[in-house]
Amino acid sequence: MKDELTKWICRSVRPFTIVADVGLTDVLQTVLDLGKKYQDLNITDLLVTPTTISKNVHQLAERYRSLLQPILIEQAESNCLCLCPDLWTDKFRKVNYLGLTAVFIDKNYELISIDLCCCEYQEVDKSGDSVLQAIRRQLDLYGLTSFMDNKKIVFTCDRGPNILKALRGQPIILCFAHRINNILKRCFYETAKKKRIILASTTPIRQQKKSKLIIESSSDESLSEDEVKTPSPLKYIESNTSFSELPSKACELVDIITTSKQLVKYCGLNKSIQDAGGVVLKQSTVVRWLSLSNLLESIDSSYEHLRSILSRSSNTKQSFKLNKINIDGLKDLIRLLSVFKDVSVLVQTGTRPSLHMAYIAMNKLEHHLNGNDVDENGDFIHIDDRHEDIAHSYIRQQIDEILGLKTEQHELLTEPTKKKHKSMEDQFADPDDNSNIHDIHTLPTASFRNDELDRYLRMNIEDIHKIPNPLPFWKHYQQKFPCLSLLARRLFSIPVTSAAVERSFSAAGLVVTERRSSLDPQTLHDILFVRSIQNILEQNQNFFS
């Protein structure tokens, strides 16, 4: 068996890891089972033609879609469905695709992510109206257009103008990771190749003027909202600072980045660094989030190896570039970017909810940039009192909506409750003990039900539930807090980034390769959908039941 697998891998140029693929294991097990049942089998009778496989991919995808439709409708009816739309173009045939990923928390409080489509974009242009038509056409396949019309579906997307125009009037969450990426690109002149860069500096005056940011158009297909020149909302004088007029320390840091990029492009270094036991140098690209941090970290890790290799090299130009890198400045940049990198990884998780992490990430970045980090890992960031009151008010409004309360009751109950100083008895009180609530039977039913938030705030959460994923907690307490648990499902169904659809495009890039560039777009669409469903069924065989 070992020799046959080796011959197959070499002859067909397959990766070595294919022997660990679960699909190959399942196929071989099926063959063994058939061999036990039917003693005399010819292997050629078991295998099917490529055309048969292609047709079966579509049939399997259609069967899965019919099974998925009632599940999606149920989630939309509960306001627990979020969609992540985006556009992508393959690099071989330049075919445009519309990607649509569905994210929701099911009744079992499991986070589900499904690649609904990566289908060919067949509209006449990429205007907002055309993108909207393409999105509605895909939603119509699952009977979801009415829910979109009633604004019961939330969308998480980047700041592409066409996507924003298409989703105008819909509940939208803008991708948090894209905003971080755009901030860093702006800060370190990574937006595009530019002939002229002018930074906006702000000096208050009485007259209302516009602050400018002049850049060359980005090479990205859809320009981000962050890279569009917009007028300042405040009254600032028009005052421009060119790159040459920046402070010496700022120029030094930008020079470190420029030199590092030039050094990484020097051919032949990585092989020598690896032979010396160092870490390979990594490229930086403007379209990949925080790759600049990886580049600087790789240079810092292999700095001594680089110095040794370049000192023996006849290329004095590259040695001179290394001398231009201030090692202290390099480490400062790495420390600055490390928290951005941690935050970006934190919010782009695909295994647990991420919406609530946006507030934590913002606080962590604020403390980091102000230089007053008290917790290196950001585990204990306290919520500002103002934000706490706003959150409590919002939660009460949502509970009222779930209970279907009248407007008068809504206005009465949405007012935030004032904080009470806890006595020693209160701190050790049983959260299930309602003996301290006077005349409980005389309270209105709605007021008693809206007590869920108060009871939750008073309870002591067990250590077993103090984990990064909040879903097990709400699953455990869904009977005790029915309204809050449903609200948790709704909110945690919303990803704070569009990373889900980006992962779908990454998978599409693995399918549409140079060897398979002629693959029909509909087949790609079906393959990615079946792949997504199979990943879910591996974790939960009863997903459709």
**33-47, 240-254, 330-344: least confidently modelled range:** 240-254
Separation CA 396–CA 393 (nearest Å): 5
For 406-458, write each residue's pLDDT tens digit.
Answer: 444 444 434 444 444 443 334 333 444 444 433 333 344 445 455 899 999 99
- pLDDT for position 320: 63
Return the pLDDT at 306: 79
Q: What is the pLDDT of residue 217?
A: 32
Q: Considering only CA atoms, which of 498, 479, 531 is closest in space to residue 109?
A: 479
Decide whether 2-47 matches 51-175+498-539 in CATH topology: no
In this prediction, residue 116 carries a pLDDT of 96
Per the listing, tokens 């259609």 go with 62
Segments making up each domain of the chain, as ranges: 2-47, 51-175+498-539, 192-245, 248-355, 385-492
CA distances from 99 to 140, 177, 302 (A): 15, 18, 39
115 closest CA partner among 104, 131, 99: 99
pTM of the model: 0.77
Instruction: Indicate the average pLDDT of the chain.
Output: 79
Of 109, 87, 107, residue with least CA distance to 98: 87
Architecture category of domain 51-175+498-539 in CATH: 2-Layer Sandwich (3.30)
The CATH class of the 2-47 domain is: mainly alpha
**Segment 373-387 mean pLDDT:** 56
Q: Which of 514, 541, 508, 497 is nearest to 181 (CA)?
A: 497
Q: For 227-252, what is the mean pLDDT? A: 57
**CB within 8 Å of 424: residues ≥ 6 apart:** none
pLDDT bracket for residue 181 (50, 70, 90): confident
Instruction: Spell out the residues 6+ positions from residue 278 whose beta carbon is closer than 8 angstroms to its own.
Output: 301, 302, 305, 306
pLDDT at 295 over 80: yes
pLDDT for residue 210 is more than 60 = no
Q: Can you spell out the DSSP letters for 51-116? A: HHHHHHHHHHHHHHHHHHHHHHHHHHHTT-EEEEEEEEE-TTT--EEEEEEEEEE-TT--EEEEEE
pLDDT range class, residue 233, cuts 50, 70, 90:
very low
In whole angstroms, what is the distance from residue 373 CA to residue 256 CA? Answer: 26
Of 57-61, 240-244, 436-440, 535-539, give the lowest mean pLDDT range.
436-440
How much is the pLDDT for 40? 77
Mean pLDDT of the region 89-115: 95
Determine the Cα–Cα distance for residues 503 and 38; give it in Å rounded to an integer. Answer: 42
The average pLDDT across 293-300 equals 86
Angle, helix 291-301 to helix 303-311, in steps of 10 degrees: 60
Query: What's the confidence (pLDDT) of residue 379?
Result: 53
Q: Of the given ranges (156-160, 175-179, 217-221, 274-278), which has the lowest mean pLDDT?
A: 217-221
